[in-house]
Amino acid sequence: MPLKRQLDRLLLRPSHLPASRDDFEVIGAFNPGVTKFGDEVVLLVRIAERPKEQRPGFVPLPRWVPGDGLTIDWMAEDEVIQDDPRVVQVKKTGRSRLTYTSYLRLVRCGDGRSVREVTDIQIKPETELEEFGVEDSRITKIGDRYYITYVAVSRYGVSTALAATNDFQQFERLGVIFCPENKDVVLFPEKIDGDYVALHRPVPGTPFNRPEMWLARSVDLTDWGRHRWLHGGGSDWETGRVGAGAPPILVGEGWLEIYHGNRKPNRPGAVGMYSAGAMLLDAEDPSRILRRTRKPILTPTTEFERIGFVHDVVFPTGIVPLEDSYLVYLGAADTCCAVVELDQGELLSSLEAV
Question: 279-299 burial string, b = 16+ CB within 10 Å, else e?
Answer: bbbeeeebbebbbbbeebbbb
Q: How far is the CB of 48 from ligand MAN (least distance, A)?
A: 8
203 binds ligand MAN (CB under 6 A): no
Indicate the residue among 87 and 283 with the shorter CB distance to ligand MAN.
Answer: 87
Q: Report the C-alpha gap between 138 and 149 in whole angstroms.
A: 5
How far from 112 is each of 17, 37, 135, 154, 332, CA to CA, in Å?
19, 11, 21, 33, 17
| Residue 103 near residue 84 (C-beta atoms within 8 A) | no
98 binds ligand MAN (CB under 6 A): yes
The enclosing H or E element of 80 equals: strand 80-84
Q: Is 305 left (phi over 0), alpha (psi -120 to 50) or beta?
A: alpha
Contact with ligand MAN (CB under 6 A) among 135, 238, 312, 341: 135
Indicate the residue among 153 and 339 with the shorter CB distance to ligand MAN.
Answer: 153
Indicate the residue among 33 and 286 with the shorter CB distance to ligand MAN.
Answer: 33
Closest C-alpha among 305, 309, 231 to residue 275? 305
Number of residues that bind ligand MAN (CB under 6 A): 7
337 binds ligand MAN (CB under 6 A): no
Indicate the residue among 87 and 164 with the shorter CB distance to ligand MAN.
Answer: 87
Q: What angle do CA 325, 330, 331 make, to 5 degrees?
A: 170
Q: How far is the CB of 53 from ligand MAN (least distance, A)?
A: 21
Q: How far is the CB of 189 from ligand MAN (least distance, A)?
A: 25
Instruction: Tell me if the bond preceding 181 is cis, omega within 30° of 0.
Output: yes
Q: How far is the CB of 335 from ligand MAN (least distance, A)?
A: 11
87 binds ligand MAN (CB under 6 A): yes
Which residues in the 141-170 window bind ligand MAN by CB under 6 A?
A: 151, 153, 158
Q: How far is the CB of 102 from ligand MAN (least distance, A)?
A: 7
Count of CB atoms situated within 10 Å of the CB of 13: 18
Q: How far is the CB of 121 from ligand MAN (least distance, A)?
A: 22
How far from 306 is each of 10, 48, 82, 249, 274, CA to CA, in Å?
13, 19, 22, 28, 10
Q: How far is the CB of 86 from ligand MAN (least distance, A)?
A: 5
Q: Report the C-alpha gap between 14 and 116 in whole angstroms.
A: 16
3-state secondary structure 93-107: CCEEEECCEEEEEEE
First CA to last CA across the chain, in angstroms? Answer: 19
Q: How far is the CB of 60 from ligand MAN (least distance, A)?
A: 16
Q: How far is the CB of 270 from ligand MAN (least distance, A)?
A: 13
Q: Report the C-alpha gap between 111 and 127 in whole angstroms.
A: 34
Indicate the residue among 31 and 140 with the shorter CB distance to ligand MAN.
Answer: 31
How far from 58 is each of 61, 63, 72, 79, 85, CA to CA, in Å?
10, 16, 11, 9, 15
Indicate the residue among 100 and 147 with the shorter CB distance to ligand MAN.
Answer: 100
257 binds ligand MAN (CB under 6 A): no
Which residues in the 34-53 window bind ligand MAN by CB under 6 A?
A: none
Contact with ligand MAN (CB under 6 A) among 16, 36, 63, 86: 86
Indicate the residue among 27 and 298 with the shorter CB distance to ligand MAN.
Answer: 27
List of residues contacting ligand MAN (CB under 6 A): 86-87, 98, 135, 151, 153, 158
